[in-house]
Structure 1
Amino acid sequence: MKQLINYCLIVATMFFVACSSDDGHGDFQITEGTFGDILTPNDGQSYTLNPFENQTNTAITITWESADYGVPTQISYIVEAAQSGTDFEEPVVIGTTSSNVLSLDIATFNGYAVGAGLLPFTEGSLDIRVKSTIGNQSDMPLYSNAISVSVTPFTTALPKLAVPGNHQGWDPPTAPLLASSAFGETDYEGYVWLDGGYKFLAPDAAGAFQWGNTDWGDDGTSTGILVADDETDCTATAGYYFVQANTGELTYATTAVSWGIIGEATPTGWDSDTDMVYNSSTRTLEIDIDLEPGPFKFRANNAWSIELGSFNDDGFLQAGGDLTFDGTAGNYHVVLDLSNPREYTYSLTQN
C-alpha cells in the first residue's frame, strides 16, 4: 500500500511539472506543431462562376487535415486566398471555422475572387491555404500547404463606355458613361451633356478608362457611323443629350433632351410639363415645385417618346406607368439623376 501511494505521488509530481508554465499559471507550453494538407479541392481544379445560376448554390468546398499542437486544445482555422504569384502578400480571408471544412456559395466565392484581384469573365489563378491558431497563441500560426485553382469570376455591373470630349476636358477617368443592356450586349446608352467634339472609349482589362484603349469616333461623314481607325471626332452643339452607341453595329445617335415633370401632383396637372434645369456640377436635373398628393412622371421634350414613370426590379426608373407622390402638400426640391446609365433615380426633399 505504501508503495502504491509513493507511485501515485511520483506520477502526480511529473504531471504537475509537465503542465506548469514558467509563470506558475499551469498552462500547457506549446512550442511547435504540425499541419497537414488541403484535401479538397484538387490542385489545378477549375471553377467557372455563373451569374445566372442560383447564387446560394455551393461553389467550392475546402477540406483539410487537422493541425496538431501536441496537446488537446481548441483550434481555429482561417482560410486565406490570394492571386497566384503574390506569395500571399495581401491575402483575402474567405472564412474562419473550428471544423475541417469550409463551403462557399457562388456569390460569396465570386466576391472573394474579384476582391483578390481576378478579372471578371477572365480565367485567373487563385492560391488557397489554411492557417491554424489556438487561443492566445495566435502569434504562432501553422500553415497548410497551398493549392492553386483556376477561377473565372463575373460582375453584375453592366458593361460601360466612357464619353470623353470637349465637354469635360478630354479626360477619360472623369468622363460620363454609357451602359449596355446586359452582359455581352453592345447597345450602350446614357444621358450626357455635350459641347463640341467627343469620342467613345472602351475600358481596359482592369475596367479603367484611359487613352490607349480602343476608342471610336465618326467615320468623317457625320451620318452616325462609328469607326475605330482613322476616325474623326463626333460633334454636338452645347446641350443635354440622350446618347446611343452600338460598338457591334458601329452606329451612334444623339437626341437633345429637355426634361420636365408632369402629372396631377404638379401645378399644371397633365396639361403641361414644368421644366427642370440641368446642374452641371452634379450632372442632375433639378426643380423647386409645389406638389400635392397624386400621380406624376418625368418626360423629355414635352412628348411621350422618352419618359420615366415606374421602377424596374432593381428599383431604378423605367418607362411606363405613373409615379405617386403621397407626402404632405408643399414646396419640394426635386432631383432627377440620369448620370448613372440605366440606373436612373429621383428624390423629393421638402423645402
Structure 2
Amino acid sequence: MRINSEFSTIFISTEIQTILTEIFKELKNRKIFVLVDENTKSNCLPLIYAIDEIKKSEIIEIKSGESNKTINTVEKVWKTLQEKGADRTSLLINLGGGIIGDLGGFAASTFKRGIDFINIPTTLLSQVDASIGGKTGVNFYGLKNEIGVFNHPKYILIDSSFNQTLDDRNILSGWAEMLKHALIFDEKDWLNLINHKIKQTGFKELNQLIARSVNIKNHFVEQDPFEKNIRKALNFGHTFGHAFESFFMSSENEILHGEAIAHGIICEIYLSHKMSNFPIHKMDKIVSYIFNTYKRLELREKDFEKILELIGHDKKSEGLNINLTLLEDIGQIKINQNCKKEDIIETLKWYSNLQYEN
C-alpha cells in the first residue's frame, strides 16, 4: 500500500526489501548511513541486510533508551557522519523506534543544514505515530522533545512484521496511539479497535489497522503541518501523558510512551467530561478498557505538584495557560482549551482514587 502524503511517500507492506531496492535505484550514487541501536542492529538490520546498498552502508550505532535521546548522542551521530565523509547528498536511514526516528531525523535535518533521511519504524508506536508528521528532536534537562525541528523524511517504510521482535508491553505502547487516533476521529474506528485482540492480530490485518491510523494522522498533519491549529487534536492525551512520562523517566518505574499516553487519555477524558460534557457512559467505557489493558500508574498526592510543574513546561502550554485538546464526544475535538491549576490537581486526585480492576 502506498500513501502519497504531501510531505513524504509512505509505503505499508511486507515487501520492504523490494521497495527499498527500488528507492535506491532512484537515489543512486549517494553515500548511505544507517542509524541503529543495539536492539535494532541485532533484530531488524538482518531483515534488510541482503540489499547491496545496505551491505555497503556505514552503520551508526547508538545506545537505546529514552535517557540517551540527548544532544550528546546527536553530537556522536554528527561526528560519525563527518568522519565518514558524509556530504549534502548523503542519505541517513533511521532503522528503529521513535527514539531512533526522532533523534536521527533531528541529526539529519541539522547536519550540513540538512540531508535526506528515510524512516523505517520498527515498533508499532513509531509506525503509527513517531515516524510520521515531521517532528524531530531530543529531550533536554528532563523535558520530552524540548529541542527539535519540523522536517519530513523523504520516505517512510512501514512493515508490521518488524513487530515480531517486540514484547507485549511495546505492542500495547503503540496500540495506545492508535486508540487516541480513533478517539479524535470517529467512533467506528474506536469500536473497531477495542473489538480487536491486538496480540492475536496477524501481520496482514495489522498492516490494515496501521494504514487506517496513519491516514487519520495524515488527515490532521496535511491540514496543519506546523501545529498551529487543527493538528493540535493529535495532542489529545499528551498533556498529562508527557508529564507522566517525564515524571517516571528517572525512576525505577520508568514507563513507555504509549503507557503514559493511555493514562493521559484517562485524565483528559475526565476533563472533557468536566469541561465539555463528554458523555459519562462513554467515559466509563474508555476508562475501563484502558485500565483493563494497561497497568495503572501509582500516583501519590505528594507527586501532584511536580506533575503540575511538568505540565506547565509542556510545549502545548502558552504563557500561564495550560492548553489542552479535549473532546465533546468521540470524534468531536476542541483544541486550545485553557485549564486551571485546580482542575489539574482535581483530575490527578480523581485518577488516584479510581477503583477499576486491572
Question: TM-score of the superposition, structure 1-length normalised?
Answer: 0.26
Give the number of the structure whose residues are more often helix, by fraction: 2
The structure with the largest alpha-carbon Rg is 1
Higher relative contact order (CA 8 A, sep 6+): 2
